[in-house]
Amino acid sequence: MSSPRARVAIMLVLCALTIAGTAPAVAAAGDGTAGIESESSPVDCHADRTASADLEEPRIVELYPNPTIDDNVGEYLVVETPPETTLENLTVTDGHTTAQFPDERVSGRVAASTDATVTETLTDDPVIELEGGIRLAVDGDDLELRDGDEPVDAVSYERAPLAERWHRIDPDGASETEDAASALDDVAGAERDGQGKWHPRDATCLPVSSTAVDEATTFVLPDSPEMPRETLQAADERILLAGYTISSDAVARDLVDAADRGVDVAVLVESGPVGGTPAASEPVLEMLDAGGVDVRAIGGEGARYRYHHPKYAVADDRVLVTSENWNPSGVGGESSRGWGVRVVDADLAADLEAVFWADFEGRDTEPGAAFRANATFVEGDDAADDRTRTFPTDHDATAVNADAVDLLLAPDNAEAATLELLGGADDEILIKQASIAADATVLEETVAAARRGVDVRILLDSTWYHEDENAALQDDLERTAATEGLPLEVELVDETDRFEKIHAKGVVVDREVAIVGSANWNQNAFENNREVLLAVHGTEAGEYYADVFEADWEDDPWSLPFGLSVTVVVALLFAAVVGYRYVSFGTERAVGRGRSAE
């Protein structure tokens, strides 16, 4: 087994142990316990198939009612059993129909289905065939296990998302990992259906991995567009590039050049971006395919993730994570204010490489040529706008001392990790986002921090497609701040001479830790998308991004504070006339009611 794939296998097993809470025994040949069968084995979130000595009765622990097969053939339920359980008297019923378990003796987890042959292709659990016509309703149902006439277990679930599996979560928490899962549901708002939680089949379920590092290179865009390209150009052995879209000719040339000099290069992009794949991506993807780059697109019906939305590269032992797409307007430095960071560390690179291969080799990916043949390419900003904009370098890329770097992944762990960092803030939280959903759990945690006295400032974008939503959020938050006396301020920025729009997804907590990555602040990003972020611990990193935040905050041309009365406005204008103070008002759009310009 090659090193990258071995790393995948190890991480998947660790993931399974984290969720299951106990280590599985080594399986003897033919005992029905599945292990890692290949280098690209899918993720199993609940791989502990050993029998629990503490379990007194069989119970339902997993459901798969809605596979990506016509008529849901192969649907199944998984029953966890005590050691040496005889199934001859066991039945399962939905209150309308009943199915009988076969007369077999089992231990641990076993999948039960009315079409065992198909089910065996969908799960690594040993499969038994039920006798009877029970169906797992896609719209939700109540199921009961009975031993003879005696009920032994019951579960309920709501509508089953396509290609997602329902996993049981015990309310009382039989282990620390189950407590953590319950806490995530309660605090972060993860979906709870009855006694369980839905998880996409074959999606990763990795814990946060933390790596001790000495140094990181912090940078922002559009100031330092050379950083992503230098990272690719320096690679000698491997480049793994993941993105939402890619339309940069310059980046494509760097990747092809790397392939020409013997570097193994693979690229993974989203197959169905909102609004369609940019037309500018088509020649870039053709160039990559022709240049020997292994390109795949991820998505489609039953995909593991709603959108593949990360923006990262692994180049040898260098890890580069940004908020920006691999487009001229993003990493090309021609439009967006984005944040990025590069870390040189073999362990971190290996961890992210494992994520890349798990995503790249999934059942929901297709080769670049096949993707191009069926894709809808649409004209977008990068394709329709022939201008090449340049912006000043106000913030140089800077090597900073760092204590540790955490790899955060959505939907695996990023939400819970971000909530924990926000919940631990003592003095200050700085947030820079293109937009924020009003119901985002991370926003709720931010407001909670303000209520305990943490100074909070939020900087949002104001381009036309964000303006109304962000202005409404600003009104709501500042109304809450005024009513409760909270140290919370919100501003929207307009186009400046330093960047065109905010596309960053950044957070700085107490100027001691900065979160840099791809996740927008909404529940879809945290719960359904593939997102990749780095939490960089260290005051130098925190100060770097805080300085950029401060500069962008002070450059805001809309400076009318929220809630100013007419009297105060007149007084300020009078002060300006007599020379005591100059007040600059923006456009007549009432979206600049944040902190006054200083």
- The pTM of this model reads 0.79
Express each pLDDT in 65-90 by its tens digit: 999 899 999 999 999 999 999 999 99
* pLDDT, position 496: 80
Spatial distance between the Cα atoms of 493 and 477, rounded to a whole number of angstroms: 16
* pLDDT, position 43: 55
- Under DSSP, is residue 409 helix (H, G, I), strand (E, B) or coil? strand
Pairing of strands 90-93, 98-100: antiparallel
Pairing of strands 336-344, 318-322: antiparallel
Averaged pLDDT score across all residues of the chain: 84
Express each pLDDT in 563-582 by its tens digit: 333 333 334 334 333 333 32
Spatial distance between the Cα atoms of 424 and 559, rounded to a whole number of angstroms: 31
Q: Per residue, what are the HEC states of 40-51?
A: CCCCCCCCCCCC
Query: What percentage of the chain carries pLDDT values higher than 70?
Result: 78
Spatial distance between the Cα atoms of 499 and 520, rounded to a whole number of angstroms: 19
* pLDDT, position 387: 57
Spatial distance between the Cα atoms of 535 and 408, rounded to a whole number of angstroms: 7
* pLDDT, position 381: 56
* pLDDT, position 568: 36
> What is each CA distance from 31 to 118, 125, 227, 399, 588, in whole angstroms?
20, 11, 52, 53, 73
For 497, other C-beta atoms within 10 Å of its C-beta total: 9
pLDDT value at 371 more than 80: yes
Let me know if the fold of 209-378 is the same as that of 404-554: yes
Asked whether 534 and 345 are in contact (CB, 8 A), the reply is: no
Spatial distance between the Cα atoms of 538 and 405, rounded to a whole number of angstroms: 9
* pLDDT, position 27: 28
Phi, psi of 570, deg, nearest 5:
-60, -40
* pLDDT, position 499: 87
Q: For residue 493, what are the contacts with CB-CB under 8 A and spacing of at least 6?
A: 459, 460, 461, 462, 502, 552, 553, 555, 556, 557, 558
Asked whether 404 and 216 are in contact (CB, 8 A), the reply is: no
Domain 404-554 fold is: Endonuclease; Chain A (3.30.870)
Asked whether 300 and 364 are in contact (CB, 8 A), the reply is: yes
Band the pLDDT of 194: cuts 50, 70, 90.
Answer: very low
> What is each CA distance from 122 to 112, 113, 229, 363, in whole angstroms?
12, 11, 41, 11
Spatial distance between the Cα atoms of 398 and 396, rounded to a whole number of angstroms: 6
- β-strand partners of 92: 99, 145
Query: What percentage of the chain carries pLDDT values higher than 90?
Result: 72
Spatial distance between the Cα atoms of 556 and 496, rounded to a whole number of angstroms: 8
DSSP H helical segments within 189-275, as ranges?
A: 226-233, 249-260
Spatial distance between the Cα atoms of 331 and 242, rounded to a whole number of angstroms: 13
Q: At what angle do helices 441-451 and 414-423 cross, to 10 degrees?
A: 10
Spatial distance between the Cα atoms of 92 and 8, rounded to a whole number of angstroms: 37
* pLDDT, position 91: 98
The domain 209-378 is classified under which CATH number: 1.10.10.410, 3.30.870.10, 1.10.3720.10, 3.90.420.10?
3.30.870.10
Spatial distance between the Cα atoms of 364 and 163, rounded to a whole number of angstroms: 11
Report the amino acid identity of residue 129.
E
Domain ranges in the chain?
A: 59-170+193-199, 209-378, 404-554
* pLDDT, position 570: 38
> What is each CA distance from 245 to 298, 414, 503, 524, 553, in whole angstroms?
11, 22, 14, 18, 29
Spatial distance between the Cα atoms of 382 and 360, rounded to a whole number of angstroms: 26
* pLDDT, position 373: 95
pLDDT value at 367 more than 60: yes
pLDDT value at 592 more than 90: no
For 404, other C-beta atoms within 10 Å of its C-beta total: 13
Express each pLDDT in 128-186 by its tens digit: 999 998 999 999 999 999 999 999 999 999 999 999 999 998 765 433 333 333 334 44
Express each pLDDT in 406-461 by its tens digit: 999 999 999 999 999 999 999 999 999 999 999 999 999 999 999 999 999 999 99
